Amino acid sequence: MSSIINSRSSVLTRISQNIAANKAKYIEVSRGTVNSQKCARRVMITGASGRLGGEFISALNQTRKVEVFSTSRSSALKPDQIQITFKENESQLKKIIEVNKLDCIVNCAAQSTGSYEEMYHSNVTFPTTLAKVSEEMGVPFIQMSSTAALYPVSCECGYAFTKKQAEENIMQYANSKLIRLDALIGCDSKLDIGYLAKMGKYLGLSFHFDDLQGSIIQPTLYESASRAMARYIVGLLDGKDMT
C-alpha cells in the first residue's frame, strides 16, 4: 500500500539538530491523552517526534477509535511509562507489547545521520527485530518510510541502503504490512517529478501525481492520504481485509 501524507499542523516537534548530533540512543514511550476510550484500540507509533510519525499520529487521533502510545528520541516528549532503546532484545520488546496491551505497532523511527554502523542498527536491526517479535506475538506491524528511502542503493547513501535492507528483511513476516510513502509534498525544498518517476522506474515502483499541480513537488505531508492511512489502521484492527 502506498500513501501520500500531508498536514500543516504537527502535534509533536521534529527531532532537533542537537539530538541528532548527540546521537541519542534512547526513545521514550508516552501515552496518548487524546481519544482514550474504554474500547479504544491501542497503537504504538515509533519515531513520534519525526515529521512522518508526528503527522501520522495527528491523523490517527482524528479517527477517535484508538489510544496512541508514542515513542521518540526527542526530549520534547516526556517519558510516561517505558524507555525503549534501539538495542532492546526480543524478550524486552515482548514485555513492552504485553505490559501496554498493544493492538498494533507502526514503525516510523529511523536514523539518517551518524556512522553507517549506527544507521544500520537503528534502521535495520531494530525494525527487523520489532517485526519478528510482533509476528510472534500476533500483533499487526507496519513499517513506514518516506521517499528518502527510495534513492538507488548503489549511491553513497547509507540511509537509503539501510532502509531498503530493512524492508527486505521485514517482508519475510507474512503477517506484517509494508507501507512506503510514494511522495511527500508541501512547501520546503523542491523535487523534480520527472526525477522521482525515473527513480521509481529504477526501483520497480509506481508514483501517482494526478492530484498535483505543475512539475514541482516539495516535501511536507498530504492530509487526505494521512487520514486514509489512519482508516487503514482502524480497519486492520477491526479485522477487515485491508490487502
- Please give the angle made by the CA atoms of 208, 213 and 217, to the nearest 5 degrees: 65
Among 225, 223, 237, which residue's Cα sits nearest to residue 66? Answer: 237
- Per-residue pLDDT of 107-123, as tens digits, reads 888 888 788 888 888 88
Taking only the tens of pLDDT, the chain with its 243 residues reads 332 222 222 222 222 222 233 333 333 344 443 333 445 788 888 887 777 777 677 777 777 677 877 765 554 444 333 445 555 578 888 888 888 888 888 888 888 878 888 888 888 898 899 889 988 898 888 887 766 666 655 556 688 788 888 888 887 775 556 655 544 433 333 444 555 455 445 444 444 444 443 433 333 344 555 566 666 677 766 665 544
| Grid cell at residue 107 | 514503525
pLDDT at residue 13 in the model: 24
Give the N- to C-terminal CA distance of the chain in Å, as an integer: 8
The alpha carbon torsion through 101, 121, 110, 205 (nearest 10 deg) reads: -100
Q: How far is CA 86 from CA 43, 60, 122, 178, 236, in A?
A: 19, 24, 6, 20, 26
The tens digit of pLDDT for each residue in 62-103 reads 776 778 777 655 544 443 334 455 555 788 888 888 888 888
Q: Which CATH number fits domain 2-184+221-237: 3.40.50.300, 3.30.360.10, 3.30.565.10, 3.40.50.720?
A: 3.40.50.720
